[in-house]
Chains A and B, each alone.
Chain A
């Protein structure tokens, strides 16, 4: 605990220091990142110790806020979520120092770093809090600091809109959480987490609390259709912040949901069905919308929605397992979901940081303006490719492991009795398969268009590789993708305690063994694959060693003068799929074709705005505003009538209270 407190102290104090020295950007650029990294070390140590050796430590201090206690604890679950938070924050800080250098003197870096460290600290506090008020305070600080980070370039209109959307969404979500916590606290009259278990006695209230949690935490995590803030806010923020937000901050929503499940007692089946449906919808629609984007960071943001969907599928299958008394399935499902939390944190932050480097080097996020960057930015390109493969769930990388576990759970559920259970399992399987294929499509598109082929515009021609501070985190994260991928059997040993917390300790050994064998073979295949690959590569070079190897232009199919702009763009690459799923996407196409004998410029552009925003939120908000504006006559400025209000109020009250 002392270590954790130390980490919190370091983060918060350095944050405040950054604000204090806001006038001196150089100094701030030192304090901020260094503080973030130094602060993360003790937390990292403490969390990993808690996870490996498993002592549940906690700290309980009375606090003068009504209903509040400064209660924090480090159990397996908290430790498990602490690790990615700490890791990603530290790496993002290292990256951010160099990323923000161009802004020195132009932007308020002091505030930015202050908010960054506050964000890190509050996220840690969220996963450690053991009291509702403390949790909510940390939760709100987290939202607020990330909001300020999103508003980094607030002079742009779309950034302001993004910030507004984000804060409104997260605040509405919090409203649901407020209600939920009050409900949970009512049986015992205390807002400490330890006393929340009593609600399990009343299934109806528990279900209500579950729904509230799904909405409240789902808004933060980005479940469809509460995800609407996500594709707005993540692109708007600076890339290292996007990495933190998309990599770990939205996971606090998952943490909250899981933590809540611990209090609610045995879940009825429909909770699982609900989560499976949400997961399937978020996953498939998320990846489809990602496919339709051509703004790199927006694309990645939608992939966060998709991966949250996968995680939720895992949790949902797990809940069904619990509900239908298949502890093994439950354990596998939860294991898959939770493992995917970490995996997504790793490769998503890798991809966001990579996209940041691209943005840094080329100044554009427009995929269709890029190309051929692999030659000018080899490290970034290679690591981005690893991340792309990992997020597409391809072996031997980490993405495959967690998806495999979820598949495993779902397939095991096929053996269960009860048509609805089997159908749910089938839904999970199909959506996972679809997501896998589409994700691969989306990331071949992204990677291929940005890093392969030739530069499509001046932006990309003169790109230069980012500095060491920006490359190191990329390499480290890419390495992690591979390590987790091939060391899966060990990894699941590590998350055993977490899963046992959720699925009940009894089945612990069994599920781990059941999962260990396949994962071991998967790992072997992975290694074998690499070996085979190396072998074949050497064979190839050996064959070519004594032969003539020449260079020329790409085979142009007899076309005389091909130009880089004739390459397939990302939009055209994705076009068949987006057309096929057109009804779900509502893509807007603007086309002005060539006309006349000497046609001048023709143009074609597509835009895929968010469905739920267009079809639901905008109309609803508009309607509400219209309804409100209908009441403006109340304040018409005529004194006589104002006084009439007084009289009428008097009479109304008299009639109401004394009429009977």
Chain B
């Protein structure tokens, strides 16, 4: 434990320091390479931490400020995976912009600094035991990533940034009110520092004022839900995702949303315990989840901008995760598994969309046709990930969605199951049409084929291969880790 303790602060400190350092980068390429490599190293450290948790139970250090249990460890692992992918992808993505001088050193430095900054902030969210600090982390991610959206200043990008900034700030402010209410609820039995410590709040001996807890949870759900992009609080999401550069979009939908959702998950068991485990809080998640799926479906059918399409897919899948958690039982397990699948898949699809967007000079799917010929690597990976996103077997998302359906039927939530299937069906029908025309429709004006390096193929196909593997075979450790994480949420399947 003690030996492992230093890792958690390091996970926050290292990126923070690197953020500062990367302001000194000489060339843009250097900045990006440093980013990628350093991220990988940090990921390895995090890996050790996760392994520690997996084998020897939760880590707690620095007087209980830092804390890592199975739930956060699992999310941490996903976070690292996504960031490593994005880090290397950034090198590929900005290559062309560097070549034609759009991506200057100044930009590169700022980009990399903000990148590490938000990295640090997300780590902070995951490793902090104190709900207040967690909140600080979330707000920090908002502020730092805001500028990532408009690395390239354009009216649309500015607008997206402004909406993102204001909506998330307001939302997260509400979340803070929620946290205060939670502290107030606990103030009868806890005081001072402990009032916001998750480990203390989870302590069964602590008695919380149920009414206040309920109010608090509603504030938390609305607040963090805004950041997580649950409908109808999702309005900023398509704008931000569509305007930011591909690596950023990938990171956004790959994990930023899950960070916020993670905060809700943290608070869920507290509420459930306080309200006598009658699924009082889960109900809310089910409703918001279903709503997100349906709203996403509405906009996916008539979408033409590929990045907005992917953004709405994020809304849909976050909704699916929320639904799964809300259903409880097997659903929680499935939802956590789905988190991993969605993050990997979504990152990949944004990679493909970004590269092809550069090649075609547009994100309009009506003009991005015959992608597999224009870029055998990125085209196939984009189509593949799109098919995976709409739940085609044998990709892992099919399994997790099947399990969520199973959970819904087991819990006798027949209406939820029906709406879930309807939403997925509409999404499938809508998105498949786009995918088919992108893959096979002969192009009106064929752009020059995109030349790709072998390493890129690795980057493009590894995630898909991973999804395929997970769809056919889940390694026992992963399974156990997810089960432990589900146990943190008070579910023992």
Chain A directly contacts chain B within the complex, with at least one CB pair under 8 Å:
yes
Interfacial chain A residues near B236, Cβ < 8 Å: 642
Of the candidate stretches B182-190, B198-206, B218-226, the one touching chain A is B218-226
Given the complex of chains A and B, what is the CA–CA distance between A140 and B397 in angstroms? 13
Given the complex of chains A and B, what is the CA–CA distance between A645 and B393 in angstroms? 36
Interfacial chain B residues near A66, Cβ < 8 Å: 330, 333-334, 399, 403, 474, 479
A646 touches B226 (CB 8 A): yes
Interface size on A, residues (CB 8 A): 50
Query: Is A20 on the interface with B (CB-CB < 8 A)?
Result: no
Query: Is A559 on the interface with B (CB-CB < 8 A)?
Result: no
Given the complex of chains A and B, what is the CA–CA distance between A643 and B236 in angstroms? 10
Interfacial chain A residues near B333, Cβ < 8 Å: 66
Interfacial chain A residues near B238, Cβ < 8 Å: 635
A646 touches B394 (CB 8 A): no
Query: Is B440 on the interface with A (CB-CB < 8 A)?
Result: yes
B222 to chain A, nearest CB (A): 5
Query: Is A657 on the interface with B (CB-CB < 8 A)?
Result: yes
Query: Is A590 on the interface with B (CB-CB < 8 A)?
Result: no
Given A67-B406, A650-B174, the answer on whether A151 and B440 have CB atoms closer than 8 Å is yes
Given the complex of chains A and B, what is the CA–CA distance between A221 and B171 in angstroms? 51
Cross-chain contact of A155 among B226, B280, B409, B442 (Cβ < 8 A): B442
Given the complex of chains A and B, what is the CA–CA distance between A563 and B437 in angstroms? 45
Query: Is B304 on the interface with A (CB-CB < 8 A)?
Result: no
Given A168-B432, A186-B409, A650-B219, the answer on whether A631 and B298 have CB atoms closer than 8 Å is yes
Interfacial chain B residues near A167, Cβ < 8 Å: 432
Of the candidate stretches B58-66, B159-167, B244-252, the one touching chain A is B159-167
B222 touches A649 (CB 8 A): yes
Interfacial chain A residues near B7, Cβ < 8 Å: none
Interfacial chain B residues near A164, Cβ < 8 Å: 432-433, 436
Mask, A632-657, CB within 8 Å of B = 1, is 10110001001101100110011001
A105 to chain B, nearest CB (A): 15
A641 to chain B, nearest CB (A): 8
B291 to chain A, nearest CB (A): 10
Cross-chain contact of A653 among B218, B301, B334, B426 (Cβ < 8 A): B218
Given the complex of chains A and B, what is the CA–CA distance between A649 and B219 in angstroms? 10
Mask, A406-442, CB within 8 Å of B = 1, is 0000000000000000000000000000000000000
Query: Is A535 on the interface with B (CB-CB < 8 A)?
Result: no
Given the complex of chains A and B, what is the CA–CA distance between A110 and B218 in angstroms? 55
Interchain pairs with CB closer than 8 A, number: 149
Cross-chain contact of A178 among B295, B297, B402 (Cβ < 8 A): B402
Question: Can you name the residue of chain B whose Cβ is closest to the Cβ of A650?
Answer: B222
A136 touches B393 (CB 8 A): yes
B41 to chain A, nearest CB (A): 30
Question: Can you name the residue of chain B whose Cβ is closest to the Cβ of A642?
Answer: B235
A625 touches B301 (CB 8 A): yes
B392 touches A140 (CB 8 A): yes
Cross-chain contact of A186 among B226, B295, B410, B439 (Cβ < 8 A): B410
- Considering only residues 417-444 of chain B, those with a C-beta below 8 Å from chain A are 417, 421, 424-426, 428-429, 432-433, 436-437, 439-442
Mask, B277-293, CB within 8 Å of A = 1, is 00010011000000000
Given A164-B433, A628-B297, the answer on whether A646 and B280 have CB atoms closer than 8 Å is no
Query: Is B415 on the interface with A (CB-CB < 8 A)?
Result: no
Interfacial chain A residues near B398, Cβ < 8 Å: 137, 140
Given the complex of chains A and B, what is the CA–CA distance between A168 and B394 in angstroms? 16
Given the complex of chains A and B, what is the CA–CA distance between A66 and B479 in angstroms? 9
Mask, B228-270, CB within 8 Å of A = 1, is 0000110110100000000000000000000000000000000
Query: Is B48 on the interface with A (CB-CB < 8 A)?
Result: no
Given the complex of chains A and B, what is the CA–CA distance between A658 and B474 in angstroms? 42
Given the complex of chains A and B, what is the CA–CA distance between A621 and B473 in angstroms? 37
- Considering only residues 160-195 of chain A, those with a C-beta below 8 Å from chain B are 160, 163-164, 167-168, 171-172, 175, 178-179, 182-183, 185-186
A to B CB contacts below 8 Å, 30 in the list:
A66-B403, A66-B474, A67-B403, A67-B406, A136-B393, A151-B440, A155-B440, A160-B440, A163-B436, A163-B440, A164-B432, A164-B433, A164-B436, A172-B425, A178-B402, A179-B417, A621-B429, A635-B235, A639-B163, A642-B163, A643-B170, A645-B233, A646-B170, A646-B222, A649-B232, A650-B174, A650-B219, A653-B218, A657-B283, A658-B211
User: Which residues of A approach B to under 8 Å, CB–CB?
Assistant: 63-67, 133, 136-137, 139-141, 144, 151, 154-155, 159-160, 163-164, 167-168, 171-172, 175, 178-179, 182-183, 185-186, 621, 624-625, 628-629, 631-632, 634-635, 639, 642-643, 645-646, 649-650, 653-654, 657-658
Beyond A66-B403, A139-B393, A171-B425: 11 further Cβ-contacts under 8 Å? A137-B393, A151-B440, A154-B440, A160-B440, A179-B409, A182-B405, A182-B409, A186-B409, A634-B235, A645-B232, A646-B226
